[in-house]
Amino acid sequence: MDLTTGRALPYIVPLLILALILRRNLRARSLKMERLWVYPAILLLATGSAMYSEPPPGLVSLIGFAVALAAGGLIGWYRGRLTRITIDPATHEFTSQASIAGTLLIGVVFALRYGVKMAVTGGAALPFGGRVDVAGITDGLMLLAVGMMSVQRVEMFLRCQKLLSEARDGGGAVA
């Protein structure tokens, strides 16, 4: 990696972005239960419009998409479970804070994404011959993100509902 010729820039920028994401996720921040659906909906619309403009995928791609969506859902559920959510019993305002494990999980997914991107753009050969379907891989990665963000938000929403019910009944304040 040569820093003087600019060849390091494709590696430094993602690392800086990842560092900002990690820093932001480790801080407690306000959480609006009623808005948890917005980001997954936007992500779903963007993914759907990107995939709609391409030719219909084959069976192997559809299986890959299902696996990516399921893997994203599993990661999202796990990350949602690791997020600390608190409620102020008096105001019923929520606060969320990602755990270190959940934040590291995002780092791993981020690194895998760039690893796949580098392998594909580097001309990776398929073991059974043929060409690398770059559009299919990027669609799969988008579906992984859709599954992850959607299931994470559903998990957090359900926990917020439980906390709100308990706070109204005079119970606990952390989930």
Per-residue model confidence as pLDDT tens digits over 71-80 = 999 999 998 9
| Number of domains into which the chain is organized | 1
Q: What are phi and psi of 96, to 5 degrees?
A: -125, 150
Residue 131 lies in a domain: yes
Contacts of 108-115 with CB under 8 Å at 24 or more apart are 109/75, 109/144, 109/148, 110/14, 110/18, 110/21, 113/141, 114/14
Q: What is the pLDDT of residue 68?
A: 93
Q: What single letter denotes the amino acid at residue 20?
A: L
Alpha-carbon Rg for the chain, nearest whole angstrom, is: 19
Q: Are the C-beta atoms of 138 and 144 separated by less than 8 Å?
A: no
Separation between Cα atoms, residue 68 and residue 63, nearest integer Å: 9
What is the extent of the structural domain holding 49? Answer: 36-82+101-151
Q: What is the pLDDT of residue 16?
A: 82
Q: What is the pLDDT of residue 1?
A: 47
- Residue ranges in the chain whose pLDDT is less than 70: 1-7, 10-11, 117-132, 171-175
Separation between Cα atoms, residue 26 and residue 100, nearest integer Å: 7
Q: What is the pLDDT of residue 120?
A: 66
Residue 173 lies in a domain: no
* Structure token digits, residue 2: 């040569």
Q: What is the pLDDT of residue 124?
A: 54
Residue 74 lies in a domain: yes
The pTM of this model reads: 0.75
Residue 94 lies in a domain: no
Residue 73 lies in a domain: yes
Query: What residues contact 40, with CB distance under 8 A and at least 6 apart?
Result: 146, 149, 150, 153
User: How many C-beta neighbours within 10 Å does residue 144 have?
Assistant: 23
Residue 157 lies in a domain: no
Residue 2 lies in a domain: no
